[in-house]
Amino acid sequence: MKLSASHLVRRFAAHGVGRVAVPVGNAAAGGGRLLRLKLLAGLIALPSLLLPAYGQTPISIINSDHNLSVSSPGTMHASSETEICIFCHTPHSATGDGPLWNHQMSSAAYQPYTSGTLKATVGQPNGSSRLCLSCHDGTVALGMVNSRRNNIAMNTTTMTGVNDLGTDLTADHPISFVYNTALATADGNLKDPSTLPQTVPLDRSSQVQCTSCHDPHNNEYGDFLVMDNTGSALCLDDVGPRAVRAGAAGDDDQSVGQ
């Protein structure tokens, strides 16, 4: 299956018209997450959306760094490959690691985040985060996909630069840990997960994953964040006001640095 760039413009231009968040199960253990379906409804009635200018909209994957095809606006891209979805998804010959997953998975052992004040149990990355790390740990060739006999030729073999997190995740926000009421209580600065907005989703196992902060299909807010982080709104949706409440009596705020 091949999708041309113009197909994707139509597909993602519909984003502004309406979208539904539908929980979709998949074969990966603990890998359930929200897959946003972009409604095509209204496209016919809005032919102006097909104008090239609308293709510049930041909500399109085409104009984001996650377009790894030759038409990518980013620094890392294929030498001649025109398909855009293929780097992550394939309708056939999927790996089974995620939703129609196509990219070769990493076999790296990771050093997870740790600190003396961390109350969560953070182990090896699991669930959908492993899908992200199949490119973002820098150990697997960007063009190594299951549906092709040979790697797709790229202008760089593996992820480089600031987006290459490596396998040492000790300097990165913890992922793949259960975020439940018990954790919020133990930490004291975390909001109860029941109060989190739907824009900050946990996975089916109530775990924080990359997708809790990032939506790989939507770069509307920059850095593929799930919501506008002005004033650190995204961070403060998780980390509640207790952490920043000045001089609260009895606030034994060990996480602050004392």
Question: Could you tell me which stretch among 57-65, 69-77, 123-131, 250-258 binds another protein (CB under 8 A)?
Answer: 250-258
Cβ atoms of residues 225 and 215 within 8 Å: yes
| Contact pick of 116, 150, 194, 198 for another protein (by CB under 8 A) | 116
CB of 162 to another protein, least distance (A): 6
| Contact pick of 22, 171, 194, 198 for another protein (by CB under 8 A) | 171
Residue 235 to residue 196: CA distance in whole angstroms:
11
Residue 161 to residue 163: CA distance in whole angstroms:
6
- The partner residues of 34 in beta bridges, in order of sequence, read 23
Q: Hey, CA dihedral for 21, 25, 26, 31, is it positive or negative?
A: positive
Cβ atoms of residues 184 and 193 within 8 Å: yes
Q: Does the footprint of another protein cover residue 220 (CB under 8 A)?
A: no
| Residue 24 three-state SS | strand
Question: Could you tell me which stretch among 9-17, 64-72, 141-149, 165-173 binds another protein (CB under 8 A)?
Answer: 165-173
Q: Does the footprint of another protein cover residue 117 (CB under 8 A)?
A: yes
Cβ atoms of residues 29 and 205 within 8 Å: no
What are residue 101's phi and psi, to 5 degrees?
Answer: -70, 140
Cβ proximity to another protein: between 47 and 161 the closer is: 161
User: By CB under 8 A, what part of segment 70-99 binds another protein?
Assistant: none
What are residue 234's phi and psi, to 5 degrees?
Answer: -65, -45
Question: Could you tell me which stretch among 20-28, 38-46, 77-85, 114-122 binds another protein (CB under 8 A)?
Answer: 114-122
What are residue 75's phi and psi, to 5 degrees?
Answer: -85, -20
Q: Does the footprint of another protein cover residue 57 (CB under 8 A)?
A: no
| Contact pick of 170, 181, 185, 195 for another protein (by CB under 8 A) | 170
| Contact pick of 48, 80, 194, 258 for another protein (by CB under 8 A) | 258
Q: Which is nearest to 110 in space by CA: 165, 169, 158?
A: 169
CB of 255 to another protein, least distance (A): 6
Give the count of residues interacting with another protein (CB under 8 A).
Answer: 40
Cβ proximity to another protein: between 114 and 156 the closer is: 114
| Contact pick of 154, 165, 184, 190 for another protein (by CB under 8 A) | 165
Cβ atoms within 10 A of the Cβ of 114, count?
Answer: 10
Cβ proximity to another protein: between 47 and 231 the closer is: 231
Residue 183 to residue 176: CA distance in whole angstroms:
13
Residues binding another protein (CB under 8 A) = 113-117, 162, 165, 170-173, 213, 222-223, 225, 229-232, 234-236, 239, 241, 243-258
